[in-house]
Amino acid sequence: MTSRSTNNKILPAGEIAGGAAGRKVFVRTYGCQMNVYDSGRMAEVLAPQGYSQTETLEDADLVILNTCHIREKAAEKVYSELGRLRKIKDERARAGKPTLIGVAGCVAQAEGEEISRRAPVVDLVFGPQSYHRLPDLLVRAAGGAKVVETEFDIDEKFEHLAEQSKRMPLARAASAFLTVQEGCDKFCTFCVVPYTRGAEVSRPLGQILQEAEGLAAAGVREITLLGQNVNAWHGEGPDGRPWGLGRLLRRLAEVDGLDRLRYTTSHPRDMDDELIAAHRDMPELMPYLHLPVQSGSDRILAAMNRKHGRDDYFRLVDRIREASPGLALSGDFIVGFPGETDADFADTMDLVRRVGYASCFSFKYSQRPGTPGAAMADQLPEAVKSTRLAELQTLLSDQQRAFNASRLGITCDVLLEKKGRQAGQLTGKSPWLQAVQVDAPDALIGTIQPVEIVDIGANSLFGRLAGGQYGSISPVDGSRQEAAF
Q: Does 155 bind ligand 5AD (CB under 6 A)?
A: no
Q: Judged by CB under 6 A, does residue 190 bind ligand 5AD?
A: yes
Q: Which amino acid is at 81?
A: E
Q: How many helices (H) and strands (E) does the chain have?
A: 14, 21
Among 366, 399, 449, 479, binds ligand 5AD (CB under 6 A): 366
Give the helix/strand (H/E) hosting 25: strand 23-29
Residue 365 binds which one of ligand 5AD, ligand SF4, none, with CB within 5 to 8 A depending on kind? ligand 5AD
Contacts with 97 (C-beta within 8 Å, 6 or more apart), sequence order: 61
Rounded to whole angstroms, how far apart are CA atoms 243 and 251? 10
The secondary structure element, H or E, covering residue 84 is helix 72-94
Where do runs of H (alpha helix) occur along 339-464? 342-355, 382-405
Q: How far apart, in whole angstroms, are the C-alpha atoms of residue 463 and residue 428?
A: 10
Out of ligand SF4, ligand 5AD, none, what residue 229 binds, judged by CB under 5 to 8 A for its kind, is ligand SF4
Of all residues in the shown chain, the one whose CB is closest to ligand 5AD is: 332
User: Is 412 assigned to a binding site?
Assistant: no
- As beta bridge partners, residue 290 has 330
Q: Answer whether 237's CB lies under 8 Å from 249's CB.
A: no
188: annotated binding-site residue? yes
Nearer to ligand SF4, 146 or 299 (CB): 299
Residue 248: CB minimum distance to ligand SF4, A: 19
d(CA 438, CA 460): 10
Please choose, out of 132-140, 364-372, 465-473, 475-483, the segment that lies near ligand 5AD by the rule CB under 6 A: 364-372
**Nearer to ligand 5AD (CB atom), residue 139 or residue 334:** 334
CB of 135 to ligand 5AD, least distance (A): 31
* Comparison of 360 and 448: residue with beta carbon closer to ligand 5AD: 360
Could you tell me the maximum CA-CA distance found in the chain, to the nearest angstrom?
A: 65
Q: Name the binder of 187 from ligand SF4, ligand 5AD, none, CB < 5-8 A by kind.
A: ligand SF4
The residue among 82 and 271 lying less far from ligand SF4, judged by its C-beta, is 271
Closest to ligand 5AD by CB, 31 or 135: 31
The helix or strand, by DSSP H or E, that contains position 101, with its residue range, turns out to be strand 100-104
223 binds, among ligand SF4, ligand 5AD, none (CB under 5 to 8 A by kind): none
DSSP label at residue 49: G
Does residue 32 have a known ligand-binding role? yes
Question: Which of 165, 294, 427, 449: binder of ligand 5AD (CB under 6 A)?
Answer: 294
What distance in Å separates the CA atoms of residue 85 and residue 80, rounded to the nearest whole number?
Answer: 9
Distance CA 267, CA 246 (A): 14
Q: Is residue 106 part of an annotated ligand binding site?
A: yes
Least distance in angstroms from the C-beta of 265 to ligand 5AD: 7
Q: Does 292 bind ligand 5AD (CB under 6 A)?
A: yes
Residues near ligand SF4, by CB under 6 A: 184, 186-188, 191, 193-194, 228-229, 267
Q: Which range in 57-65, 88-96, 173-181, 362-370 contacts ligand 5AD by CB under 6 A? A: 362-370
Buried b (16+ CB within 10 A) or exposed e, 434-452: bbbbbebeeebbbbbbbbb
Whole-angstrom distance, CA of residue 398 vs CA of residue 116: 44
Other CB atoms within 10 Å distance of the CB of residue 298: 16
User: Count residues contacting ligand 5AD (CB under 6 A)?
Assistant: 12
Nearer residue to ligand SF4 within complex by CB, 99 or 229: 229
Annotated binding site for [4Fe-4S] cluster: 32, 68, 106, 184, 188, 191
- What are the residues binding ligand 5AD (CB under 6 A)? 70-71, 190-191, 292, 294, 332, 334, 363, 365-366, 368
